[in-house]
A = this chain, B = another copy of it.
Amino acid sequence: MEWSTEKRYLPYEKWSAKELLELQAQASNSPYQLHYHIRPKSGLMNDPNGFSYFNNEWHVFYQSYPFGPVHGLKSWAHCVSKDLVHWKDLGTAIYPDTALDSHGAYSGSAKVIGDKLFLMYTGNARDENWIRHPHQMGAFMDAANKIEKLPKSLIEQPKHTTDHFRDPQILEHNGKFYCIIGAQDKATKTGKISLFEAETVSGPWKDLGYVDFSKDDMGYMIECPNLVFIDEKPILIFCPQGMDKDVVNYRNIYPNMYLIGEKFDFETGKFTSNSQIKNLDEGFDVYATQPFNAPDGKVYALSWIGLPDLTYPTDAENWSGCYSQVKELSLKNGKLIQKPVPATTNLRGEAVEFTGEMTTKNQFELKLQIAAGQDAVLKIAANDENTECLKLHIDTKTGKLILDRKNSGLAVNEKYGTERAIAIAKNSAVDLDIFVDHSLIEVFVNGGENVLTGRFFPKGGSNKLVLDRDINFKAKYWEMADI
Q: Which residues of A does B touch, CB under 8 Å? A: 11-22, 24-25, 28-29, 31, 66-67, 78, 82, 86, 88-93, 95, 144-145, 481-482
Chain B residues lying within 8 Å of A89, measured Cβ to Cβ, are 28
A89 — nearest CB in chain B belongs to which residue?
B28
Are A88 and B28 neighbours in the complex by a CB distance under 8 Å? yes
Are B66 and A28 neighbours in the complex by a CB distance under 8 Å? no
Are B91 and A31 neighbours in the complex by a CB distance under 8 Å? no
Are A482 and B88 neighbours in the complex by a CB distance under 8 Å? yes
Chain B residues lying within 8 Å of A82, measured Cβ to Cβ, are 482
A81 — nearest CB in chain B belongs to which residue?
B482
Known interface pairs A20-B20, A31-B144. Does A90 touch B25 (Cβ–Cβ under 8 Å)?
yes
Chain B residues lying within 8 Å of A12, measured Cβ to Cβ, are 16-18, 21
| Alpha-carbon distance between A28 and B78 when the two chains are bound, in angstroms | 10
Nearest CB in chain B: distance from A280 CB, A: 31
Q: List 8 A-B contacts (CB under 8 A).
A: A11-B18, A13-B17, A13-B18, A16-B17, A21-B92, A24-B91, A28-B89, A29-B91
| Alpha-carbon distance between A91 and B66 when the two chains are bound, in angstroms | 15
Nearest CB in chain B: distance from A75 CB, A: 8
Are B17 and A19 neighbours in the complex by a CB distance under 8 Å? yes
| Alpha-carbon distance between A14 and B482 when the two chains are bound, in angstroms | 34
Known interface pairs A12-B16, A17-B19, A144-B31. Does A92 touch B482 (Cβ–Cβ under 8 Å)?
no
Nearest CB in chain B: distance from A203 CB, A: 28
Nearest CB in chain B: distance from A57 CB, A: 11
| Alpha-carbon distance between A14 and B19 when the two chains are bound, in angstroms | 10
Known interface pairs A91-B24, A482-B86. Does A145 touch B16 (Cβ–Cβ under 8 Å)?
no
Are A21 and B88 neighbours in the complex by a CB distance under 8 Å? no
Nearest CB in chain B: distance from A85 CB, A: 11
Chain B residues lying within 8 Å of A13, measured Cβ to Cβ, are 16-19
| Alpha-carbon distance between A93 and B66 when the two chains are bound, in angstroms | 19
Chain B residues lying within 8 Å of A481, measured Cβ to Cβ, are 86
Chain B residues lying within 8 Å of A22, measured Cβ to Cβ, are 92
Nearest CB in chain B: distance from A346 CB, A: 9
| Alpha-carbon distance between A14 and B20 when the two chains are bound, in angstroms | 12
| Alpha-carbon distance between A405 and B262 when the two chains are bound, in angstroms | 61
Chain B residues lying within 8 Å of A86, measured Cβ to Cβ, are 481-482
| Alpha-carbon distance between A293 and B20 when the two chains are bound, in angstroms | 35
A24 — nearest CB in chain B belongs to which residue?
B91
Nearest CB in chain B: distance from A408 CB, A: 21
Known interface pairs A90-B28, A90-B29. Does A95 touch B145 (Cβ–Cβ under 8 Å)?
no
Are A16 and B18 neighbours in the complex by a CB distance under 8 Å? no
| Alpha-carbon distance between A28 and B15 when the two chains are bound, in angstroms | 21
Are A21 and B20 neighbours in the complex by a CB distance under 8 Å? yes
A146 — nearest CB in chain B belongs to which residue?
B29
Question: Which of A12, A18, A66, A93 has most chain B Cβ within 10 Å?
Answer: A18
Are B91 and A28 neighbours in the complex by a CB distance under 8 Å? yes
Chain B residues lying within 8 Å of A145, measured Cβ to Cβ, are 29
Nearest CB in chain B: distance from A322 CB, A: 16
Question: Which of A67, A91, A95 has most chain B Cβ within 10 Å?
Answer: A91
Chain B residues lying within 8 Å of A67, measured Cβ to Cβ, are 17
Chain B residues lying within 8 Å of A28, measured Cβ to Cβ, are 88-91
Chain B residues lying within 8 Å of A93, measured Cβ to Cβ, are 25
| Alpha-carbon distance between A20 and B28 when the two chains are bound, in angstroms | 17
Known interface pairs A86-B482, A482-B86, A482-B88. Does A95 touch B18 (Cβ–Cβ under 8 Å)?
yes
Determine which of B17, B66, B90, B92 lies in contact with A66 in the assembled complex, contact meaning CB atoms within 8 Å. B17
| Alpha-carbon distance between A93 and B25 when the two chains are bound, in angstroms | 8
A35 — nearest CB in chain B belongs to which residue?
B88
Are A92 and B15 neighbours in the complex by a CB distance under 8 Å? no
Chain B residues lying within 8 Å of A95, measured Cβ to Cβ, are 18
Closest 7 CB pairs of A and B: A25-B91, A15-B17, A12-B18, A17-B20, A28-B90, A21-B92, A24-B91
A91 — nearest CB in chain B belongs to which residue?
B25
